[in-house]
Amino acid sequence: MLVDSHCHLDAVEFGRTPAEVADEASAQGVDWIVVPAVERANFATVAEIARHHPRCVYALGIHPMYVPRADEQDLQRLREQVAAAMDDPRFVAVGEIGLDFFVPELKEPAMRDRQQHFYIEQLKIARDFGLPVILHVRRSQDQLLKQLRRFRVSGGIAHAFNGSEQQAAAFTDLGFVLGFGGAMSFTRALQIRRLAANLPLSNIVLETDAPDISPAWLHPAINTPAQLPRIAAVLAELRGQPVADIARHTTQNVARVLPRLGSLMMA
């Protein structure tokens, strides 16, 4: 069994319907796909995808790259939508939320503060509902960790992780697993490959982040969740472990940190 723990199935870049993209992935052996929201405008879309595709689940949140056009009402709306979605077994987390200090316009002091505000308010929502979070981590590891220590959530996934071994350990100490995807397939991605090879397997989940982060064999074409088995094979090779073990453990890890998805898997 394989789980794509991060895929923006509603993205227009696919040029196909979410159902077509998800069906192709299922045919390749991808059993579950986690679809995070990025802004208020797509909250209903990701819920709809999960309703229509039996192997998709979703998260609700405001992505740091969408913070510039988000407002306080969006946070209020998110809280209401999360409250309503607690009855929906396919709703599994708050996400995608986080901090991006790489994109130039997001690095300006005022926008850094604004990102922090949205991040903190969304951590509070996750905490209040006892939900895990799906984190966007870009040049922001320590700032994300600092708030996670203040606002204790039940863990989650630090997606597309890149950072030091010390930062990785800090996330896992707080109940997080780290998401690895196509970036591992680039031989120049030394730090990511070293982490993927050396971290305990209990701290790793697989993801495609499709349509972004195309693996080396596709680059620069659009990524899809159907690439996940090959990404699993890359991790297996880096670690010198059978791909079946990689699949089993990473699936167990997703079920552990996203317990609502774990319940669906057992149903």
**Shortest Cβ 242–Zn ion spacing (Å):** 29
List the one residue out of 75, 82, 102 whose CA is nearest residue 160.
Answer: 102
Give the nearer residue to Zn ion in terms of CB position, either 69 or 149: 69
Q: What is the dihedral of CA 249, 253, 259, 265, to 10 degrees?
A: -30
Dist. CA 183–CA 232, nearest whole Å: 12
31 vs 39 by CB, closer to Zn ion: 39
Neighbours of 202 (CB within 10 A): 12
User: Using CB under 5 A, which residues numbered 170 to 229 contact Zn ion?
Assistant: none
User: How far is it between the farthest Cα atoms of the chain?
Assistant: 49
CB of 266 to Zn ion, least distance (A): 26
| Residue with Cβ nearer Zn ion (203 or 223) | 223
Nearer to Zn ion, 10 or 96 (CB): 96
Give the CA radius of gyration of the chain: 17
Tell me the residue type at 249.
H
- Considering the complex, state which of residue 2 and residue 46 has its C-beta at the smaller distance from Zn ion: 46
Shortest Cβ 174–Zn ion spacing (Å)? 20
Binders of Zn ion among residues 63 to 102 (CB under 5 A) are 96
Distance CA 175, CA 216 (A): 30
CB-closest chain residue to Zn ion: 96
SS3 31: coil
Least CB distance to Zn ion at residue 64 (A): 10
Total residues interacting with Zn ion, rule: CB under 5 A: 1
Which tokens sit at 198?
């050396």
Identity of the residue, 96 or 100, whose beta carbon is nearer to Zn ion in the bound complex:
96
Asked if residue 42 lies in contact with residue 10, where contact means CB atoms within 8 angstroms, the answer is yes
Near Zn ion in 154-173, by CB under 5 A: none
- Least Å from the CB of residue 208 to Zn ion: 10
Strand partners, 206: 180
Question: CB 179 → Zn ion: shortest distance, Å?
Answer: 9
**Chain residues in the site for Zn ion (CB under 5 A):** 96
